[in-house]
């Protein structure tokens, strides 16, 4: 079974950026739980595009409560990552890696 390291690494980078936002640990844990769910979805060949899209939407909704410039940067990175992952999943559908 293929492992999509680039996709998993993309989500891991978001986790690192979240840690730098400076939120209380309980809020970080909640957001990390969503990031972990996304990572589990994208790391292997059985990624479900609809599930991934829903998880990214949930992450963005949860991140809207971060009212700071760092929070805004994080939300923008989530949007960027969402687009990147969508493109990578589309490539998988046509046989690319």
Instruction: State the residue range of the domain holding 29.
Output: 5-93
- Residue 90 backbone zone (phi > 0: left; psi -120 to 50: alpha; other: beta): alpha
pLDDT (tens digit, 9 = 90+) per residue, 71-88?
999 999 999 999 999 999
Cβ contact 16:39 at 8 Å: no
For 19-58, how does the pLDDT look when each residue is reduced to its tens digit (9 = 90+)?
A: 999 999 999 999 999 999 999 999 998 899 999 999 999 9
Q: Does the model's pTM come out above 0.85?
A: yes
Q: How many domains does the chain have?
A: 1
Which SS3 state, helix, strand or coil, does residue 3 take? strand
Contact call for residues 31 and 77 (beta carbons, < 8 A)? no
């Amino acid at each position: 079974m293929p492992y999509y390291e680039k996709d998993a690494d993309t989500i891991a980078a978001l986790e690192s950026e979240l840690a730098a936002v400076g939120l209380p640990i309980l809020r970080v844990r909640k957001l990390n739980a969503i990031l972990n769910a996304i990572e589990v979805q994208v790391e292997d060949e059985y990624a479900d595009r609809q599930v991934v899209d829903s998880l990214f939407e949930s992450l963005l909704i949860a991140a809207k409560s971060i009212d700071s410039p760092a929070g805004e940067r994080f939300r923008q990175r989530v949007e960027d990552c969402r687009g990147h992952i969508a493109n990578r999943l589309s490539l998988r559908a046509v046989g690319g890696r």
